[in-house]
Chains A and B, each alone.
Chain A
Amino acid sequence: GAVVSQHPSWVICKSGTSVKIECRSLDFQATTMFWYRQFPKQSLMLMATSNEGSKATYEQGVEKDKFLINHASLTLSTLTVTSAHPEDSSFYICSARRGFPNEKLFFGSGTQLSVL
């Protein structure tokens, strides 16, 4: 079946540094990818929609300058958490949309970010 690879699985960084998370669709082209954030014991919250070749669409309340999204190819989207702070510590999950004729959504395995 189709696979979405997310890297790294976990990362620890110092406050003020930037962290990049990659999301790759391994065997299909994904014109659209999605980024979610999940705090402990809470549900997933959509952060933004990543469109290949165009600017990402951010959900209300998500700072676009803090969470930089780049979707430069049909198989790769990246999320960069800039100037990370402890409150950015969370589980980040991406998903990729496989288009017609067998449209389906696939999720990555998630990235646990801990900011010290």
Chain B
Amino acid sequence: DAKTTQPTSMDCAEGRAANLPCNHSTISGNEYVYWYRQIHSQGPQYIIHGLKNNETNEMASLIITEDRKSSTLILPHATLRDTAVYYCIVRRAGGTSYGKLTFGQGTILTVHP
């Protein structure tokens, strides 16, 4: 699976958009970009994933650059409950090894009042 690079930490004001970047310059054509987050002392929570088109769901938006070498997770209106570690993971969808996720250090997002 391709390696990802994320900033160690970011701050965001409550109510503002939080934009979390991820670099994955070695991504392969059949690899998806997945985002998970982990709130303190809980299991990871799936947020969103995409291949090459921008994606949006009830939690967030995912913007993937045209060359697919980087992406940005957008939380449109951050709340205090969005404070968590956000993990960007690149891997193939499906397959026998689906689920064997390699977690990097992620980005610690702190949302301030």
What residues make up the interface of A, taking CB atoms closer than 8 Å to B?
4, 6, 32, 34, 36, 43-46, 49, 91, 93-95, 97, 100, 103-110, 112
How many angstroms from the CA of A43 to the CA of B89 in the assembled complex?
12
**A43 with B41, Cβ < 8 A, contacts A103-B93, A105-B101 known:** no
Q: How far is the CB of A33 from chain B (nearest CB, A)?
A: 8
B residues in contact with A108, CB < 8 Å: 43
Closest to A103 in B: B94
**A110 with B99, Cβ < 8 A, contacts A43-B104, A43-B105, A43-B106 known:** no
What residues make up the interface of B, taking CB atoms closer than 8 Å to A?
38, 41-46, 87, 93-94, 98-106
A residues in contact with B93, CB < 8 Å: 103
Contact A104 B104 (CB under 8 A): no
Query: A34 touches which one: B38, B100, B105 (CB < 8 A)?
Result: B100
